[in-house]
Amino acid sequence: MSSSDPPAATVRWRLDLAYDGRAFSGFAYQPRLETVAGALRQALARTLRLEAEPVVVGAGRTDAGVHALHQVVHVDLPARPRTRTAPEPARLVTSLNAQLRGRIHVIAATPVEDSFHARFSATWRAYRYLVCVDGPRLDALEALWWSVPGPLDLAAMNDAAAEVVGTHDFRSFCRRAPRSEPGEPITRLVHEARWRSTNDPLELAPGGAFVRLDIRAQSFCHTMVRSLVSTMVAVGRGRLAPDTVRRRLATPDRDRLPAPAPPSGLALVAVGYDGGAS
């Protein structure tokens, strides 16, 4: 572009975020509900004095109550906003965080090429689900994990987790999208899934123990991780047969499977793009 060319109408920005899912009815924008995208749109419009709220596109549409430790979004902002100066990354981050008041934390703001798309450029997403076994059942703590009675057979849960790795039809573990056909497969590619014991560094659960599921996939369908978690926990407690996950992947059927695990234990922890992760 020569110095005589007019400036571009908009510049695409990548925003890296974390948020507390309890405050929101999910990520996706809904006009009459408080959502992550909606709160971010409002903050951007106020910061840059925009006449209309910009469209925010996320790498993953987390459900109501689900947290994010690292979400990625893109948004197209005017190259010459009404503030008269183009946004400066550090100042934009500071201004947005001051308005969002800890419900959403903007980690970074970066101008990117127009070809970058937070959702379609992503090659994988990683989630973590945290379970507290035999810990105290306090409302404040239930916002961070799912408390379950033990004991849990971690080896059996990992055998079940190993079954989901690869490309499978996840109809048994997903809520079907509107207007989709009942017999239509819901195929997803899972790169890894593993349960492990983890520490309680803040000593919030005396007498309890923690296990967590780390799962990474190209993409996920609605309630997929939470449904897998509740089923695997039931296997770990001996309430479902060890081969339940394998059988339900082979023959999709949600009948007599437990309800999805609570959203509070789930967090989006990373998004992968060519050249590295978020």
User: Is 63 marked active-site?
Assistant: yes
What is the per-residue pLDDT for 85? 59
Q: Say which DSSP state 166 is in.
A: E
What is the per-residue pLDDT for 5? 44
What is the per-residue pLDDT for 277? 66
Strand residue runs (E) in 93-186:
104-112, 122-133, 146-148, 166-169
Question: Buried (b) or exposed (e) across 221-254, using 16+ Cβ within 10 A?
Answer: bebbbbbbbbbbbbbbbeebebebbbebbeebee
Whether the CB-CB separation of 76 and 11 falls below 8 Å is answered with yes
Given 5, 16, 20, 63, which residue is catalytic? Answer: 63
Q: Which helix (H) or strand (E) holds 216?
A: strand 209-217
What are the structural domains of the chain?
A: 10-112 (3.30.70.580), 123-273 (3.30.70.660)
State phi, psi for 218 to the nearest 5 degrees: -60, -45
Q: Say which DSSP state 204 is in.
A: -
What is the per-residue pLDDT for 175? 84
Whether the CB-CB separation of 10 and 114 falls below 8 Å is answered with no
State phi, psi for 124 to the nearest 5 degrees: -160, 160
Question: Per-10-residue mean pLDDT for the chain, 278 residues long?
Answer: 53 97 94 96 94 95 95 93 70 95 96 96 98 87 91 97 98 83 89 95 85 97 96 98 96 91 96 83
Q: Is the peptide bond before 151 cis (omega within 30 degrees of 0)?
A: yes
What is the per-residue pLDDT for 4? 41
Q: Please tell me the distance from the alpha carbon of residue 127 to that of residue 36, in angstroms, as a whole number.
A: 18
What is the per-residue pLDDT for 161? 98
Helix, strand, or coil here: 13? Answer: strand
What is the per-residue pLDDT for 58? 97
Give the residues across from 197 on adjacent strands: 211
What is the per-residue pLDDT for 3? 42
What is the per-residue pLDDT for 34? 96
